[in-house]
């Protein structure tokens, strides 16, 4: 592997997974070991708003002989308040503009989590210390960590149940947070030599979905791919995405969005075609992958 056109069709490539550097439940090294166990040939580490797991994951990838694409999932929000997740691969992790955006998002996520816990503590026996205890030091904090504290307190059985009730975006305990503009985020990723891919773009169950003009604006700004094969995209939305990809010359990916024990998603449940990985390797010039 490594040069264009050399991947066999049987190669298993999953380009979306989280470690405990954000809201996954495994360390980066444990995640790579799980990928090897799941017989993945190539995985991408895409923690929310952080690249802090890259070095550990790359070291583990060498040990296991598993290909690793360093990446990230950037929290974005349209000016109408619609949440957009932007995956990026092989970007320069030190790019100042990109660093500034993710630092702002991470800081905002912290005060937002504190505010949500404040609201929750009016009705549930839950303190900030309970939530802090669930977060790996330095990790990007999110609702999954609040969910873990609710589980530890015996208030809900698991994360899924927490998101279905107390923590949904329609809940009275929900608080929004600053997130990058998606068009600007696409521009920053390209400026950092990275490959921007719209994550689970039609996942209606998570909240409102971006309107077509947002897709077109992001494509005009340099978006390169759409994550079509993802369990949260309903079938009719996938057909629309495939048509859009054909019309605007984007590639499509398939991935698990694995979060360890935090979600039912399994490594390798969706896969990306080798030819698409070749395009990602061609466009991604800001960081080095590890390939076997
Ligand atoms: P936040 O970014 O803090 O608003 O939280 C959203 C994150 O929670 C997403 O990145 C998902 O990984 C996670 N999430 C969403 N729904 C669920 C669910 N049903 N079970 C577990 N995790 C979820
Ligand atoms: Fe997540
Ligand atoms: Fe996401
Ligand atoms: Zn994700």
Ligand 1 in reach of 190 Cβ (< 6 A):
no
The closest-lying atom of ligand 1 relative to the alpha carbon of residue 144 is: 8
Residue 106, ligand 1, Cβ within 6 A: no
- Ligand 1, closest atom to CA 163? 19
Per-residue pLDDT at 9: 57
User: In 97-250, which ranges are E strands?
Assistant: 195-198, 225-229
- CB of 144 within 6 A of ligand 1: the answer is yes
**Closest ligand to the CA of 110:** 1
Instruction: Give ion ligand 2 contacts, CB < 5 A.
Output: 23
Q: Specify the residue for token string 């977060």.
A: 135
What pLDDT shows up at residue 112? 98
| Distance (Å) from CA 6 to ligand 1 centroid | 36
The pLDDT value recorded for residue 4 is: 44
CB of 230 sitting under 6 A from ligand 1: no
Contact 226/244 with Cβ under 8 angstroms?
yes
pLDDT along the chain (292 residues), means of 10: 52 98 98 98 98 98 98 98 98 98 98 98 98 98 98 98 96 97 98 99 93 98 99 97 98 98 97 98 98 95
Contact, 90 vs 195, CB < 8 A? yes
Which domains, from first to last, does the chain contain? Answer: 13-103+177-283 (3.20.20.140), 107-164 (1.10.150.650)
40: part of which helix (H) or strand (E)? none
For residue 177, give the 3-state DSSP assignment. Answer: coil
Is 289's C-beta closer than 6 angstroms to any atom of ligand 1? no
Q: How far apart are CA 214 and CA 71, in angstroms?
A: 23
Residue 111 CB less than 6 A away from ligand 1: no
pLDDT (0 to 100) of residue 10: 85
Q: Is the CB of 260 under 6 A from ligand 1?
A: no
Q: Is 85 helix (H, G, I), strand (E, B) or coil?
A: strand
Task: Give the pLDDT of residue 206.
Answer: 86
The ligand placed nearest to the CA atom of residue 46 is: 4
What are the residue ranges of helices labelled H in 121-164?
128-132, 143-152, 159-164
Which pLDDT score is estimated for 2?
A: 42
pLDDT at residue number 245 = 98
């Amino acid at each position: 592997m490594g040069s264009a056109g050399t991947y066999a069709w049987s190669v298993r490539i999953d380009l979306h997974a989280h470690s405990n550097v954000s809201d996954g439940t495994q360390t980066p090294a444990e995640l790579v070991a799980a990928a090897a166990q799941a017989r993945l040939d190539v995985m991408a580490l895409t923690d929310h708003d952080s690249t802090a797991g890259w070095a550990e994951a790359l070291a583990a990838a060498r040990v296991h002989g598993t290909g690793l694409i360093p990446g990230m999932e950037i929290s974005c929000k349209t000016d109408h308040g619609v949440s957009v997740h932007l995956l990026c691969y092989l970007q320069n992790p030190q790019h100042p503009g990109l660093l500034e955006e993710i630092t702002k998002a991470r800081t905002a996520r912290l005060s937002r989590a504190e505010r949500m816990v404040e609201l929750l503590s009016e009705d549930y026996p839950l303190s900030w210390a309970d939530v802090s205890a669930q977060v790996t030091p330095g990790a990007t904090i999110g609702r999954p960590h609040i969910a873990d504290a609710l589980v530890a307190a015996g208030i809900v059985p698991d994360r899924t149940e927490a998101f279905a009730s107390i923590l949904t975006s329609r809940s009275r305990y929900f608080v929004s947070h600053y997130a990058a503009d998606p068009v600007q985020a696409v521009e920053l990723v390209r400026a950092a030599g990275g490959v921007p891919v719209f994550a689970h773009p039609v996942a209606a169950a998570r909240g409102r979905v971006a309107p077509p003009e947002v897709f077109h604006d992001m494509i005009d700004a340099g978006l390169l791919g759409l994550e079509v094969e993802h369990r949260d995209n309903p079938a009719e939305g996938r057909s629309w995405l495939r048509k859009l990809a054909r019309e605007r010359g984007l590639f499509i990916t398939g991935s698990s969005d694995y979060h360890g024990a935090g979600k039912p998603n399994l490594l390798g449940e969706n896969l990306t075609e080798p030819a698409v990985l070749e395009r990602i390797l061609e466009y991604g010039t800001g960081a080095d992958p590890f390939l076997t």
